């Protein structure tokens, strides 16, 4: 199976992509969207959102990244796709799912699901504009107000030449409220011939197994579930290995997971990257944002979040992390005298 790390504006950027792909289990990433309006963007804009372009289109852990474009004008999107393709991404992805009001008000993201003909024109224009070897994929929701045209939209995307379709199993109107309607992903999968990837409400291994069963999709895209549990992709891979796997692999599968002590060095690395790439006023907020997600999986994160909640000065965060690292090292020593 293939596990893809989702694009999430304001959360799953290149910093968190770097950290999460170090853990393992992720086969591919998609960048957060690069918004295209009425001109060809300079290379520095593409590189700012997808700095992996300076590393052969891969994260430092070696995981390939597809760059995602968002817009509504086929010609402008095609021109930007051609410019972006010259920088060496591992594919171009098209955003037909963003629920943000500002994006939708300008006819982008999920708003495009109201116009399947335009979807086809966009995908076809981008497909013609980039080299034949470069994958062109898309991500869509089930619809805007409802899911009545979901299959029609998927068929339009396929007809335009997309090689793969990720379906977030909710409409724009559903936003991020549970449940995700995985059974509708199965309907889309039956309607098209290209590979379909299921996305939405996959928080645990059990969710992943149920999603695969209901949707019929072999591959999954993980978003908030992976941010909450950095070991989720590895655990899903372990749970879906064939039953006749070697004994050593079976033993390894039973012990898959990322403990709090294992996570702490990654958190420190995350903080260092945040300090390098973000403005000081944004730095503490980014760490607290991740800790807020981690509270769902790690009891220790609840206490950590409470301790850091009122801290905004980067120097104070640095001191707090040093104490946390010291405690982690003492725990390791006590566990292995």
N residues, the chain: 337
What tokens were used for 50?
Answer: 């997808």
One domain, residues 225 and 267: no
Between the alpha carbon of residue 234 and those of residues 60, 105, 157, 205, 262, the distances in Å are 18, 38, 31, 10, 14
Q: Are residues 229 and 291 in the same domain?
A: no
Yes or no: say if 77 and 71 are a contact pair by the CB < 8 Å rule: yes
Question: Tens-of-pLDDT digits for all 337 residues of the chain?
Answer: 899 999 999 899 999 999 999 999 999 999 999 999 999 999 999 999 999 999 999 999 999 999 999 999 999 999 999 999 999 999 999 999 999 998 998 899 999 999 999 999 999 999 999 999 999 999 999 999 999 999 999 999 999 999 999 999 999 999 999 999 999 999 999 999 999 999 999 999 999 999 999 999 999 999 999 999 999 999 999 999 877 666 444 444 444 579 999 999 999 999 999 999 999 999 999 999 999 999 999 999 999 999 999 999 999 999 999 887 654 554 443 444 4
Domain with residue 78: its CATH number is: 3.20.20.70
| Number of independent structural domains in the chain | 2
Report the chain's terminal Cα–Cα distance, integer Å: 41
Closest listed residue to residue 25, CA positions, set 183, 178, 252, 247? 252
Shared domain for 240 and 272, answered yes or no, is no
Helix axes of 116-129 and 150-160: crossing angle, nearest 10 degrees? 20
Instruction: Calculate the dihedral angle through the C-alpha atoms of 199, 134, 64, 276, rounding to the nearest 10 degrees.
Output: -100
What local confidence, expressed as pLDDT, does residue 323 receive? 85
pLDDT of residue 247: 47
Closest CA to 28 of 110, 98, 70, 89: 89
What does the alpha-carbon distance between residue 155 and residue 151 come to, in Å, rounded to a whole number?
A: 6
H/E segment holding residue 68: strand 65-70
What domain range is 66 assigned to? 3-253
The Cα–Cα gap between 123 and 157 comes to: 6
pLDDT, position 200? 97
Same-domain status, 66 and 157: yes
For residue 320, the domain's CATH number is: 1.20.225.30
Domain boundary among 237, 253, 269: 253
Per-residue pLDDT, 326: 56
Whole-model pTM: value is 0.92
Per the structure block, which two tokens stand in for 165?
């379709």
Final residue belonging to a domain, choices 226, 253, 280? 253
Q: Are residues 143 and 81 in the same domain?
A: yes
Full DSSP string of 161-190: T-SEEEEESS-TTTTT-S---HHHHHHHHH
Determine the pLDDT at residue 170. 98
| CA within 13 Å, CB half, 151 | 11
Q: Give catalytic residues, as residue numbers.
A: 98
Q: In the prediction, which pLDDT does 73 show?
A: 97
Q: How far is the C-alpha of 220 from the C-alpha of 196, rounded, in Å?
A: 9
Write down the number of H helices and E strands in the chain: 15, 9
């Amino acid at each position: 199976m293939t596990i893809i790390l989702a694009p999430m504006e304001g959360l799953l950027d290149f910093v968190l992509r770097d950290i999460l792909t170090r853990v393992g289990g992720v086969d591919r990433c998609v960048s957060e969207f690069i918004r295209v309006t009425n001109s060809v963007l300079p290379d520095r804009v593409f590189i700012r959102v997808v700095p992996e372009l300076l590393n052969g289109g891969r994260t430092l852990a070696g995981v390939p990244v597809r760059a995602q474009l968002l817009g509504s004008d086929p010609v402008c999107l095609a021109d930007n796709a051609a410019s972006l393709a010259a920088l060496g991404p591992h594919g171009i992805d098209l955003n037909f799912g963003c629920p943000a009001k500002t994006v939708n008000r300008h006819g982008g993201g999920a708003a495009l699901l109201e116009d399947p003909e335009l979807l086809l024109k966009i995908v076809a224009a981008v497909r013609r504009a980039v080299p034949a070897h470069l994958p062109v994929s898309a991500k869509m929701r089930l619809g805007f107000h409802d899911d009545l045209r979901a299959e029609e939209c998927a068929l339009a995307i396929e007809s335009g030449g997309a090689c793969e379709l990720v379906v977030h199993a909710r409409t724009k109107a559903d936003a991020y409220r549970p449940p995700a309607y995985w059974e509708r992903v199965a309907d889309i999968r039956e309607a098209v011939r290209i590979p379909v990837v299921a996305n939405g409400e996959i928080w645990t291994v059990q969710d992943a197994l149920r999603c695969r069963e209901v949707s019929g999709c072999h591959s999954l895209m993980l978003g908030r579930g992976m941010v909450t549990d950095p070991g989720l992709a590895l655990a899903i891979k372990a749970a879906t290995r064939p039953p006749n796997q070697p004994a050593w692999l079976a033993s390894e599968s039973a012990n898959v997971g990322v403990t709090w002590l294992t996570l702490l060095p990654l958190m420190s690395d995350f903080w260092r990257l945040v300090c390098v790439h973000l403005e000081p006023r944004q730095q503490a907020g980014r760490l607290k944002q991740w800790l807020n997600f981690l509270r769902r999986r790690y009891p220790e994160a609840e206490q950590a979040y409470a301790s850091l909640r009122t801290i905004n000065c980067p120097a104070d965060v640095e001191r707090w992390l040093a104490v946390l690292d010291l405690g982690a090292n003492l725990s390791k020593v006590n566990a292995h005298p």
